Chains A and B, each alone.
Chain A
Amino acid sequence: MITLEHVSKWYGATQVLDDCSTRIEKGEVVVVCGPSGSGKSTLIKCVNGLEPFQKGVITVDGTSVGDPKTNLPKLRSRIGMVFQSFELYPHMNVTENICLAQRHVLKRSEDAARARALELLERVGLKSHADRFPATLSGGQQQRVAIARALALDPIAMLFDEPTSALDPEMINEVLDVMTELAKEGMTMVVVTHEMGFARRVADRVLFMDAGAIVEDAKTAAFFEKPKSERAVRFLSKILHH
């Protein structure tokens, strides 16, 4: 469903992505991990065209992301994205946040958008918070609203950019639970995260990145049992034993 072929990207003279290729099938859950600054976030932002890339081809459901003729807003509306710092719109309440793109991108009626919003809020356990403003919610609650906002567009795939990194430890699980649920229902997911427990339990495949390159692309069990590269071994030993 999502393919990356030899994707490279530079900021001025610095190369941030180095010949990245992979293929993500429908219904697959792929975790992207690696040391900070390794290009994970940049890579998934290329998938929905939030970051331009200079070389290579990315296609989503047959549509090329880098093609100037592609209708990017339309493509993006079919891929949900969840950000590290939530990025709920602070001037709108929870329901309005979830309705905005439904109304203006999908052109749903006000009632239909509202109904969908409430349905999703129920699912992430926040129906009673429908009229609250983002600033009055905890981080975990905000991130669950952000997931509902992305799901409201009925996406064919979901991108998660370090969805739990900005959260206090006690709130991480409420977000991971929602994500696990989503994976079980067969959603195609690409998740940048340091939560190795989540990766082990939920992911089908792990991409390990370092210095802008995909160093390892392996089935989850294989990655954790016997990582092939020296760098992945070092990364895992740092992140797992402390």
Chain B
Amino acid sequence: MRYNWNWSVLFADPYLGWILTGLGWTVLVSLCAWIIGLALGSVIGTMRTLPSPVARAIGSAYVEVFRNIPLLVQIFLFYFVLPELLPREWGRWLKRDLPHPEFTVAVVSLGLYTACRVAEQVRAGIATAGRGQASAGLATGLTLTQVYRLILLPLAFRLTIPALTNEFLNVFKNSSLALTIGVLELTARTRAVADYTYQSIEAFVVASVIYASISFLIAFIMRRVEERARLPGTLGTGAR
């Protein structure tokens, strides 16, 4: 294998700037999508455990649809297809006037996809927290809403911290798909650096190190959080 190593090119103008702004977009897309995913996912996961059959049906339909279509296809559906299917006025607004269209579509579709995965974790957490807890709460005169707010959801979130951390890491990695509709995030920028400089190995090594370090950092922090949140006297779900 013949290959001319040249690490310094990565720190030269403009490539260092590309990689850093790419990282910025990756972080921004991930965080925004995560907020949508966590909020919507909690609602949908909760719906799937409610007594109402309608709520359950809506919740499970959502999860089935978003889980069984590849994320990349979902992004294309939102970016290319949705404006065509909506009423003319709305479609025109989406195509012409939506601010930062690539970024917004990436965040929304990644958020909606993440929501279906978060929903499954939240539902499992509530199921583990248990019917017994719910009956105990109801027996003391709490309303169903109070039972969820005061007992089931706090327990479910504690139980699912490791799983939710994992989902956040997934969002972080999945944000790379935003490059397909033109968001210049870290992977897109890395690819561009590789194309321009022909130093592809160096570029990909740097990107890999950045992704891995951030993943490890998040995993490390969340393990601390989980230890804090762990219920006294239990091993917690994150224990090996």
In-complex A–B contact (CB below 8 Å): no
